Structure 1
Amino acid sequence: MTKDIKYFGLDISKDVFDVCDDTRNYYQFKNSLSGFKKLIKLLDNNAVCVMEATGYYHVRLSYFLLDHGFKVSIVNPLKIKRYIQMELSKVKTDKSDSKMIQLYGKDREPKLWFGQSKTQQESLQLSRLLSVYSKQSTQIKNKIHGETVLGIPSKEVLRSLNRQLKSLKKEIALLETKLEKNVKAEYQNSLTLLKSIPGIGSKTALMLLVFTDGFHRFESAKELCSYAGITPIIRQSGSSVKGRPRMSKMGNPKLRNLLFMCSFNACKYNRACKALFDRIVAKGKSKKLALIAVCNKLLKQAFSIVKNGIPYSSEFRSTLVIK
């Protein structure tokens, strides 16, 4: 541990956030611009603010600190929870949590968080809104189907539903155009490389780059697969505990669902993925387990191709480096 570094533990909620500094002094500030300004008066160039990824409540403060030149580390809440359990803490308050976060930072020295570009932030917001609109569109289509099978469907109801559906389709098209423009502005070359992989289409390539921030946040394919939550969990101990291997699911559910949908096409058109699927099924394993393995394979191919800058080729897989 670097002696000069001062770790600050921040426990953030909707309205306020609690702070524990490196000398165990406690503060509480409003989760607003006025509170942010009071916080930075406590900090210097050696300060590292450690906080949990608490939904969206930590986002504004994180970027405020980065914009003012301070270091930030954002930690998975499960790691903090396990650390608190390991310390056998019997107290659970915002004040005590800020203390434990400070201790975690001092003991574990978590990686620094560097944020995302404004374009990437907007792309993530666009993808989330697209997901909402897509679900609404499906609900309206189902409602229209339900109304049309009635004996005497109301014309006024059907007209209203169709107007809503038409409006949603228009908004979805506008958002998809904007999202594509954003991704091309930052990751045009990576987008082209990803589309060279059999089983990955244009929309899938776009969303892969959005969810992974162009793969810049990951140093290895293993780390990326863990982020997606498609790594296996094995529970075996002695002769009595022999749990079935299962997918961890501790990761980004949207990325995981995207890969799972892609795995069906990959089994048809991607030679390496098809061979993997057939090999696992031939061993008597379930098709679902084989599809999860295909997801893993597909994500590793995407990572390798983007990192190496070489288009996919089934004849030259050995030239690609997968860490």
Structure 2
Amino acid sequence: MNKCKQIYGVDISKNVFDVVDSKEIHSQFKNDGKGFKAFHKALPADALVVMEATGYYHYRLAQFLYEKNVNVSVVNPLSVKRFIQMKLSKVKTDKSDAKAICEYATVNEVPPYTAKDKNQAECLQLIRLIDIYLKQTTALKNKLHGEKTLGKPSKTVYHSLNRSLKAVQKEIKILEDRLTEIVKEEQQKQLTLVKSIPGLGNKTAIMLIVLTYAAHQPHLLT
């Protein structure tokens, strides 16, 4: 059980976020700066705001409230889904989702959101995008190899592929640099220890640290 008197379940979508509190009062706000401020203004001092990890959408609101010293928790959507299934609820609306999140937090201990969560979540986003770019790199290299096999019948196509490959590789470098920056800032000591393992490079060490942390913070994985 959570000690806060008023619990607010939040369901976030692209344009709005729905809120249902412990008294089952429903309200809706725009998913932007003005909406965040309006929601914050309506919160009592002892409020606990709980939301699911929903990719980009929840980060902005969670961080905004955290910086305003509001008690915030970001929970694993799978845990809430299982909770709903146990209640045998078949109604699926934003309002019902917000209510379910509120009820979930009422009967379960929920983890406090911290700025560190935000950094680790960014790390996971970076890794996912790097993975996408690496797949694009492989595809472009294979296509270039195919063009070479054909004897470069179209210089325009060949040069376009080369430019695209260099552009993707540049983006990967930018993302990897940011990933390194975050890990060094948060866990330099651990990074040094992991890198001391023979045969383990800097990139692999960083990936290992981020994914190990995420395994213990399941709400960040979704």
**What corresponds to 1:87 in structure 2?**
87
Please give the alpha-carbon distance, in whole angstroms, between the structure 2 residues aligned to 1:117 and 1:73. 10
RCO (CA 8 Å, sep 6+): is it higher in 1 or 2? Answer: 2
Which stretches of structure 1, 4 residues or longer, exceed 4 Å deviation after superposition?
117-126, 250-253
Q: Which amino acid counterpart does residue 52 of structure 1 have in structure 2? A: E
Alpha carbons of structure 1 residues 102 and 175: separation in structure 2 relative to 1, 3 Å: closer
Q: RMSD in angstroms over aligned alpha carbons?
A: 2.9
**What corresponds to 1:33 in structure 2?**
33
Alpha carbons of structure 1 residues 66 and 181: separation in structure 2 relative to 1, 3 Å: closer
Higher helix share: 2
Superposed displacement of residue 173, structure 1: 3.4
Correspondence 1:74 to 2:74: yes
Q: Which amino acid counterpart does residue 168 of structure 1 have in structure 2? A: V
Superposed displacement of residue 146, structure 1: 1.9
Deviations 1:134-160 (A, max 9, x none): 222111101112222236631221122
1:120-199 equivalent positions in 2, closer than 5 A: 123-150=123-150, 153-198=153-198
- For the residue of structure 2 that corresponds to 1:60, the secondary structure is helix
Please give the alpha-carbon distance, in whole angstroms, between the structure 2 residues aligned to 1:190 and 1:52. 29
Alignment TM-score, normalising by the size of structure 1: 0.60
**What corresponds to 1:111 in structure 2?**
111
Alpha carbons of structure 1 residues 142 and 10: separation in structure 2 relative to 1, 3 Å: same
- Which consecutive residues of structure 1, in runs of 5 or more, have no partner in the other structure? 218-222, 228-249, 254-323
Q: Which amino acid counterpart does residue 114 of structure 2 have in structure 1? A: F
Alpha carbons of structure 1 residues 59 and 153: separation in structure 2 relative to 1, 3 Å: same
Alignment TM-score, normalising by the size of structure 2: 0.85
**What corresponds to 1:23 in structure 2?**
23
Greater Cα offset, 186-195 or 69-78:
186-195
Please give the alpha-carbon distance, in whole angstroms, between the structure 2 residues aligned to 1:162 and 1:3. 59
Superposed displacement of residue 104, structure 1: 0.8
Q: Which amino acid counterpart does residue 56 of structure 1 have in structure 2? A: Y
Q: Which amino acid counterpart does residue 163 of structure 1 have in structure 2? A: R
1:198-237 equivalent positions in 2, closer than 5 A: 198=198, 200-212=200-212, 215=213, 224=216, 227=218
- Which consecutive residues of structure 2, in runs of 5 or more, have no partner in the other structure? none
- Greater Rg by CA: 1
Q: Which amino acid counterpart does residue 13 of structure 2 have in structure 1? A: S
**What corresponds to 1:237 in structure 2?**
none
Superposed displacement of residue 204, structure 1: 0.8
Q: Which amino acid counterpart does residue 91 of structure 2 have in structure 1? A: V
Superposed displacement of residue 119, structure 1: 6.1
Superposed displacement of residue 110, structure 1: 1.4
Please give the alpha-carbon distance, in whole angstroms, between the structure 2 residues aligned to 1:115 and 1:185. 13
Q: How many residues align?
A: 222
Please give the alpha-carbon distance, in whole angstroms, between the structure 1 residues aligned to 2:193 and 2:8. 42
